Amino acid sequence: MFLIGFPLLVLPFTIYNMIVFLTPGVNWTDKVASFRMMSGQEWTLTAGEILVAFAILLLTIEILKATRLGFRTIVDHILSIILFIAMLIEFLMVKQAATSTFFLLLIVSLVDVMGGFIVTIRTAQRDLTIERIGEVQS
């Protein structure tokens, strides 16, 4: 699978930047759709909420990718860190990125970085323990 070494969270980051810089004046809190719930309440979706939901779905795939060991996983972690740092710099330095939507995307990226390392470390510890048990039994 060729996407193992590619951080998928670059997609929402790119979508956000394309919309903000190519279509100035777009408001992330504008209503995109609304649904009548069974309770009678009206539920509205904004563009920002849709983008954050998309990023969370991609985060799930990223965490699953972190369970694999190998060179591509290391590359994926390095690229995820670079993406997080780029997003953090943009959030702090670029006026168009100072929104709640971008902040939530930044937090999703942080969870990806932390979760990826935690899952990889835990998986590596388990593999190391199994190998030691095999050596003792031999």
Q: What is the pTM of this model?
A: 0.80
Which is nearest to 115 in space by CA: 75, 71, 81, 72?
Answer: 81
Question: Which helix (DSSP H) or strand (DSSP E) does residue 34 occupy?
Answer: strand 31-36
pLDDT at 31 over 70: yes
Which is nearest to 15 in space by CA: 63, 55, 59, 61?
Answer: 55
- Summarize pLDDT for 85-103 with one digit per residue, the tens: 999 999 999 999 999 999 9
Which is nearest to 113 in space by CA: 63, 45, 49?
Answer: 63
Q: Which amino acid is at 35?
A: F
